[in-house]
């Protein structure tokens, strides 16, 4: 078995070069690879294409890389909580591809399964369909959407073992398992790292075969993106 353990986030992302295409797992601020993002900010890697469900907020998640202008292109389904993202988009500093959330997930899945493309009805008749091939199936129009071609996938799990097997919790399962399958190189940061054999096989969401590097993260913030309190 190859040794997949690396010391920390700095070592895990050391070979991510300028211009790389990166998938970043998470949903909102849940299950995002905080340590790896911080390491990328410190390293100063630039001209990145980031594929993520959302773009974080101004001072957290991918928002930190947007603030330092390390992101050249953002491929996402929801970006409404980031003022710096909005500013860069409107000023033409940032290239943006907005994708229906289900299409984003399925394109990730297609990549992991080795499928070159999918057909989906989502986006037909909208700007999403501009310039894309369409085809009729049983009288209904579908768009051809290509699988992603990402250099790295960076995910965050609740628990992992030394062979790279991963367990995610709750909302963090939305995109992390899909993206873990889809990177040419997959990097996993985990809250708890245990020896191989300690995880219940029935609880594993991502088998270690998909994971190339794993390390125990630290100082996770556990933020809540929108706090709503019921008035008494």
Is there a domain that residue 140 lies in? no
Asked if 160 and 15 count as a contact pair (C-beta separation under 8 A), the reply is no
78: pLDDT confidence band, cut at 50, 70 and 90? confident
Is there a domain that residue 130 lies in? no
| Mean pLDDT computed over every residue of the chain | 93
Cβ within 8 Å of residue 117, ≥6 positions away: 110, 144, 145, 146, 147
Q: How far apart are CA 162 and CA 114, in angstroms?
A: 26
| CATH number of the CATH domain containing 192 | 3.40.1080.10
Range of weakest confidence among 59-63, 146-150, 222-226: 222-226
- Residue 9: is its pLDDT beyond 80? yes
Range of weakest confidence among 13-22, 76-85, 111-120: 76-85
Rounded mean pLDDT, 58-64: 89
Is there a domain that residue 181 lies in? yes
Asked if 152 and 17 count as a contact pair (C-beta separation under 8 A), the reply is no
Q: How many residues does the chain have?
A: 232
Is there a domain that residue 16 lies in? yes
Q: Which long-range contacts (CB under 8 A, 24 or more apart) does 61-66 make?
A: 61/26, 61/29, 61/32, 61/34, 61/37, 62/24, 62/32, 62/37, 64/37, 64/38, 65/37, 65/40, 65/41, 66/94
Burial 81-94 (b: 16+ CB within 10 A, else e): bbebbeebbeeeeb
Is there a domain that residue 183 lies in? yes
Is there a domain that residue 211 lies in? yes
Is there a domain that residue 83 lies in? yes
Range of weakest confidence among 13-27, 49-63, 138-152: 49-63
Is there a domain that residue 108 lies in? yes
- Residue 221: is its pLDDT beyond 90? no
Tally of domains within the chain: 1
Rounded mean pLDDT, 15-32: 93
Rounded mean pLDDT, 206-227: 89
And the tokens for 18?
A: 């300028």
- Residue 57: is its pLDDT beyond 90? no
Q: How far apart are CA 18 and CA 49, in angstroms?
A: 10
Q: How far apart are CA 92 and CA 89, in angstroms?
A: 5
59: pLDDT confidence band, cut at 50, 70 and 90? confident
121 exposed, middle or buried (CB, 10 Å; 0-12, 13-18, 19+)?
middle
Asked if 188 and 166 count as a contact pair (C-beta separation under 8 A), the reply is yes
- Residue 1: is its pLDDT beyond 70? no
Q: What percent of the chain has pLDDT above 90?
A: 79
- Which residue range is the domain that position 77 belongs to? 9-115+147-216
Rounded mean pLDDT, 118-133: 93
Asked if 161 and 193 count as a contact pair (C-beta separation under 8 A), the reply is yes
């Amino acid at each position: 078995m190859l040794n997949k353990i690396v010391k920390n986030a700095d070592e895990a992302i050391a070979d991510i070069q300028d211009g790389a295409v990166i998938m970043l797992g998470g949903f909102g601020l849940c299950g995002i690879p905080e340590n790896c993002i911080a390491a990328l900010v410190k390293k100063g890697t630039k001209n990145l294409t980031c594929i993520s469900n959302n773009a974080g907020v101004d001072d957290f998640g991918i928002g930190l890389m947007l603030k330092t202008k390390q992101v050249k292109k953002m491929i996402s389904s929801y970006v409404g909580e980031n003022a710096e993202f909005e500013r860069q988009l409107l000023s033409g500093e940032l290239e943006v591809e907005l994708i229906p959330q289900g299409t984003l997930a399925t394109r990730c899945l297609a990549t992991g399964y080795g499928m070159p493309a999918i057909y989906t009805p989502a986006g037909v008749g909208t700007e999403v369909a501009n310039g894309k091939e369409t085809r009729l199936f049983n009288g209904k129009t579908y768009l051809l959407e290509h699988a992603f071609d990402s250099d790295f996938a960076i995910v965050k799990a609740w628990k992992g073992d030394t062979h790279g097997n991963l367990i995610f919790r709750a909302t963090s399962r939305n995109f992390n398992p899909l993206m873990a399958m889809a990177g040419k190189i997959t990097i996993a940061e985990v809250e708890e790292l245990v020896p191989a054999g300690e995880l219940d096989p029935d609880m594993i969401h991502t088998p270690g075969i998909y994971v190339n590097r794993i390390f125990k993260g630290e100082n996770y913030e556990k933020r809540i993106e929108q706090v709503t309190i019921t008035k008494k």
